[in-house]
A and B are shown apart, each in its own frame.
Chain A
Amino acid sequence: MVDAPLITSIFTSFQRRKWFAIAIPVIIFAYLFYAAASFDVLGVAARARMDNAQNLLSDFWSYKVNVIRDNRNGKIISAIDADARYSYAPDWVKTEGEVTQIDLGDGHVVTYDAQGAHYVVPGYGTISVIASNGKIVLDAPQPLPEWISVSDTRVGVTTPAGRFIYTKSKVETQRFFAGWELFFFTFDSPFYGKSIGQLTALALWDARLDPALPNWEAISHDFLTNSLWHHGDVLWAVFETLLMAFLGTFCAALIALPLSFLAASNMMPWLLPRFGMRRVFDFIRGLDALIWTLILVRAFGPGPMTGALAILMTDTGLFGKIFSEALENIDEKQVEGIRSTGANAIQRARFGVLPQVLPILMSQVLYNFESNTRSATVIGAIVGGGIGLLLTQAIQTQKDWEDVAYYLILIVVMVIVIDWLSGLIRRKLIKG
């Protein structure tokens, strides 16, 4: 005999689930559709600057050498990143009298001469630019392809082999090479161009290059003071970011610990202080890191301490809530046992409560430290400290994308290392 009401209830529940299974995806899609419309997705596709993306990506994996002729005095300079400090004589640039020939590889050849410049593009023809009476005249096979841009004052050519720009004041050719050439040492360092093996040998047993300094010190000095990459400053900024996260997280934990006793219902018998403390925690969390940061910057000025205090404020609220919840879940028997020996409130907290909750609290604190290394990067961008500041500055100048790539890599490495370290300590803590 089958129970009829049971069957109906099962079937209605099946029916309901079926509806849910259809309705929820439909609602989600409808919402996404509305959002796409309100965000103007199609407009973004039109606004996107693919040339910017190209610049960015090429800077990420390559460096450029600029061969520049000043059209007023005819002086020619070949330099990395168009910076006179890093000029050198590449073997693919040949100068004879007024004629300079630049071999971009794959048959692309640029020639500067007294009248102007020529660019031979294989499979297309010769692009000639002649300057006469302050005007720039372009002569190239018609129709002009879209990788040549022309105006009255400027001619630009972009090919896979490089970039060529002619203006009244100067003519410039850029050639790209894989890697970041000056990343470790600049040209003025005696260690430039040495392999890892040679450097190890120099550091460990070879004769001193500079009699005043041991080689390993000279190597680290030249690396840290690299005038293009500023490794010393960058590493210091990373340290500052970690410092902000460390100070903020651990001080917040120290402040929140005693306060959370006031907010836990089994520790604080009176309703009023408990309720008040909880609302204080809620208020601190509700105001959000952004608002706290803005208030603190006004008082303490920009810098890493302000960043640390901003993290401290928000995390005090968060820890207060988490800690008091942990305190409410303890085993009362141990406290009872301590109480039976005649211990006072502080002794009961120290020997009855803390040993139970400390591993949980510590692992929460470490978990937050990990996520705060990320927040410290962002807060650093607002308060002006650490790697966050360097990164936002590098992005806002929209020029040195290789710096941006470098900082991004450093941030990822920093976060992954902290992630791994805190995971390690947390596992140890849980095991006891």
Chain B
Amino acid sequence: MVDLAFGPEPGKRPDLSDPRHAYLRMVRQKRIYGAVLLILFFVLLAAGFHLAETRNAGDFLNGLPMLGAFPSEVLTEGWAKRANVPGLALHFVPSLIETLNIAAVSTLLGGLCAALLALLSTRGLAPFPRLIPVFRRTMDALRALPDVVIALVLIYVMGGGPIPAVMAISIHTTGALGKLFSEASENADLKPVEGLESTGARWGQRIWLGIVPQVAPNWASYLLMRFEINVRASAILGFVGQGGIGADLKVAMQWGQGKYDQVVAIFLILFLTIVVIDRGSDWLRTRLTKGAHHG
């Protein structure tokens, strides 16, 4: 018992004749460790913030009162020209649709590639078991690069437009979803696959009839989650690169005062879209996973 509690190594043992004392001592020791770690953590945070502040153009305390300045400036002008806002919002709907299309297409393409890579790298399902580590590392590498970075390089080669954005987000999505997909398919029951194998089913048939029905709810829920993330990514991408609602926002912001009604309109439809997609995918995902539990 003593070995179990305090480890096999010889040394000073607590005095067991007084268990209360020993226990309190252990608690005190734990608390001291915890406190030291916590203090260290806070010191690190404070030092980090101080360092970041010295490298920043403006400092924190002077900036704090200014925090409301820009939003209020935008909102006052937006309010003054509130008659324009619905019209402008309608005007920006096509670029919003472009942003959404970029997100949807790249989620679909990335999802298809991810499904393939995931199946190729799942133990027990992979047609080439030797190559599993290769496919895994491929997914890691695809996931490591931020989509905006890939997009900037692709824009240089392919010119502007939505295609480089789609390719960039698809590449990142393939890596990110591939990992989640393969985790789901690792947990799938292999008995249906064995059954299908005994009837002489080919690899594609085994996957389609044995695995896909099992993992479909999980995969669909991951796809929806990724779509949410990709909508945001494609808006940012427009801002940094070009195309879609992000680019319009950048132009309107650069124009500055006088175009703030446009900024308000864009913020508004972007916010509403994100909230609607968030809510919709939340609702669908709970339905999907709950449905999976029921059978």
Contact = CB atoms under 8 A, between A and B. Distances in A.
Contact of B105 (A32, A294, A304, A384): A32
A213 interface: no
Interface residues of B, number: 58
B270 A398 contact: no
A378 B146 CA distance: 7
A421 interface: no
Interface string A11-39: 00000000000000000100110010011
Interface in A237-267: 240, 243-244, 246-247, 250-251
A388 B117 CA distance: 29
A40 B161 contact: yes
B49 A28 contact: no
A246 B48 contact: yes
Nearest to A302: B57
Given A44-B163, A300-B63, A411-B146, A247 B48 contact: yes
A408 interface: yes
Contacts of A411: 144-146, 149
A324 B60 CA distance: 29
A303 B56 contact: yes
A391 interface: yes
Contacts of B211: none
Given A287-B271, A302-B57, A304-B55, A381 B166 contact: no
Contacts of B194: none
A294 B69 CA distance: 12
B148 interface: yes
A72 interface: no
Given A247-B48, A291-B267, A305-B49, A382 B239 contact: yes
A416 B270 contact: no
B52 A398 contact: no
Interface string A374-398: 1101100110110000011001001
Contact of B145 (A43, A47, A240, A408): A408
B161 A44 contact: yes
Contacts of A35: 101, 104-105
Majority secondary structure of chain A interface residues (helix, strand, loop or mixed): helix
Interface stretch (B123-131, B152-160, B185-193, B196-204): B152-160
A432 B52 CA distance: 34
Given A47-B158, A247-B52, A299 B70 contact: yes
Contacts of A285: 278
B158 A303 contact: no
B284 interface: no
Contact of B236 (A53, A290, A412): A290
Interface in B39-89: 41, 45, 48-49, 51-53, 55-60, 63-64, 66-67, 69-71
A201 interface: no
B48 to A, nearest CB: 5
A295 B55 CA distance: 19
A324 B227 CA distance: 24
A238 B141 CA distance: 18
A28 B223 CA distance: 14
B96 to A, nearest CB: 13
Given A299-B66, A416-B144, A288 B275 contact: no
Contacts of A75: none
A340 interface: no
A35 to B, nearest CB: 5
Interface in B203-224: none
Contacts of A286: 271, 274-275, 278
Nearest to A239: B51
A289 interface: yes
Contact of B60 (A52, A282, A295, A305): A305
B53 A415 contact: no
Given A39-B163, A303-B57, 13 more contacts: A40-B161, A251-B45, A286-B271, A290-B239, A291-B267, A298-B66, A299-B67, A300-B58, A300-B59, A303-B56, A374-B144, A395-B153, A411-B146
Interface of B: 41, 45, 48-49, 51-53, 55-60, 63-64, 66-67, 69-71, 98, 101, 104-105, 108-109, 140-141, 143-146, 148-149, 152-153, 156-159, 161-163, 166, 232, 235-236, 239-240, 246, 249, 253, 267, 270-271, 274-275, 278
14 contacts: A32-B109, A35-B101, A49-B157, A296-B67, A299-B58, A300-B57, A301-B63, A377-B148, A382-B240, A385-B55, A408-B145, A411-B146, A412-B141, A419-B144
